[in-house]
Structure 1
């Protein structure tokens, strides 16, 4: 039997007016902080892939190896349904799951349309029996998945690798986990990757790679703001730094103003003091017990956990608490 392969792409990327509003709100905070998804334009997505290949950044390699090794077990625990990946990026981690799970469809959600289209095409070529749907969106703000034939009448299984939930504060993460329950619907299951606390030297090195890719990734945010929101940033007038904040169990990443300066952005003037940080991202690290408590507060319960031998990260299978 010949299987007809196909892929579609739905573009729900936030409008420029929404971007401007979010940027103004972030610039008014202290410390200033912009939504992490703004980092992921086409160049930002390319640089993030390069970060994942740096020797200091082991999360991607460790998680990929764990998925490859345990894919049959993970697929059996997930069961049948459409596989929905949040923050799919290059969609390369999902391959072992697709092979083992053979879902009726795969849906990739990501903020970068330039990245998502080629990723879906490549994935469709590698897995021609699984129809692929790409949705360009800020999944943290998505209230419902769009109507599409591939999503109708099917149980939904969530896949959220990369410890991306760490980019949200614990309260934001709780709200997001509630939202994922809504997006996935009745009987849903969620397989989620969580980076765990480890030696501070290792954590800080992972976000301060010697090749300077993390710094280029952060500065590219300013390039994007200049392009998309009429900004006047000089990226070299900001130094990049990342450090561990033990009181919050997180890495903070920031661009720090090298001198007092004023920039134009989204139709307004913004003044920076010398040494003032602009937070580009946080990355919260959760011990397994802490993450399961967070998940429970959002209506999920743990139904399985898989970890690498060193205990650097976990894959948690969550099911709805009332199921």
Structure 2
């Protein structure tokens, strides 16, 4: 097992935060949520009864793995945003790829996840790359990636964290990273009852709220911030005009905070967007993907129709 560290430099993070704080509404890159504590809290979110996406996708991957492996064909499996890398197991067993490559922003999670995966799948060489995959324009030189057809894996409906134009650009970038003959298996959460969606992102136990507030703790630690996390209320609201959940920390009162060497004023009720989660019906997603040069080659869904696994192929596949 090998690890490559391409994590953004502190100066890059500083600039991204300045740009995000200048937006209206203010919004920081979602990957900043995933420091060690944020990654731990996200895993806890996935175990909450209201948040069914992870359980649904995991069960779907387990039940369809042989069919997915047949449809994907041979090649190195590259997972974007691997996290704890627990969803990929059924694919590795069915596909038996020549190598597995995990891309993730959290170095604290990536190393242990890759080591555990290598232990469970000793016949599959594992490579971990710590990076912001949204800013990666080519995979690093490594023997496991040399002259091999590449298969992409992007579970978790993480594409929904981006606006549709950003998501389309990311899909174009994946095509570039994966190269000729690429195929991409991607999980997409679908629209459903508003009450279910809002509960999924604002669980009764308060784990989602703690996850969001941990962003402020990280900003205080890493960028000399002076946020009081309790001075912000957490909200998760469905925005039907955008087919998305908007998660935000909302200022409880007028206040001024220091961050990244500057003072930032918040009005009472002003939001700091922590994440969006766009939901796509199958037809809408395939239209988005087509605009990025992909076409649908297969779709698998759970019995309730909550989530789809789409297989995308490029024109030269």
Band of TM-score, shorter chain: over 0.9
Query: 1:254 aligned to 2:248?
Result: yes
Question: 1:178 aligned to 2:152?
Answer: no
Query: What is the aligned partner in structure 1 of residue 98 from structure 2?
Result: 104
Deviation at 1:128, TM superposition (A): 0.4
Partner of 1:210: helix, strand, or coil? Answer: coil
Q: Which runs of 4+ in 1 moved over 3 A?
A: none
SS of 1:247's partner is: coil
Q: How does 1:1-323 map to 2 (within 5 A)?
A: 7-323=1-317
Corresponding position of 1:3: none
**SS across alignment from 1:55:** coil
Is residue 181–residue 316 contact of structure 2 (8 Å, CA) maintained in 1? no
The size of the alignment, in residue pairs, is 317
Whole-angstrom CA distance in 1 between matches of 2:159 and 2:276: 10
Residues 121-164 of structure 1, C-alpha deviation per residue, up to 9 Å, x if partnerless?
Answer: 00000000000000000100101000000000100000000000
Distance in 1 between the 2:316 and 2:168 partners? Answer: 17
Q: 1:141-191 deviations in whole A, cap 9, x for unaligned?
A: 101000000000100000000000000000000000000000000001000
For residues 68-97 of structure 1, give each alpha carbon's deviation from its aligned partner in whole angstroms, at most 9, with x where no partner exists: 000000000000000000000000000000
| Contact 1:83/1:106, CA 8 A, preserved across alignment | yes
SS of 1:275's equivalent in the other structure is: coil
Instruction: Tell me if structure 1 keeps the 8 A contact 2:295–2:313.
Output: yes
Q: CA deviation at 1:322?
A: 4.3
| Structure 2 segments unaligned to the other structure (5+ residues) | none
1:267-312 Cα deviation digits (max 9, x unpaired): 1100000110000000000000000000000000000000000000
CA deviation vs aligned residue, 1:89-131 (integer Å, no higher than 9, x gap): 0000000000000000000000000000000000000000000
**Is the 8 Å Cα contact of residues 218 and 255 (structure 1) preserved in structure 2?**
yes
Q: Offset at 1:321? A: 2.9
Gaps of 5+ in 1: 1-6
Query: 8 Å contact 1:82–1:151 — kept in the other structure?
Result: yes
Please report the RMSD computed on the Cα atoms of aligned residues, expressed in angstroms: 0.5
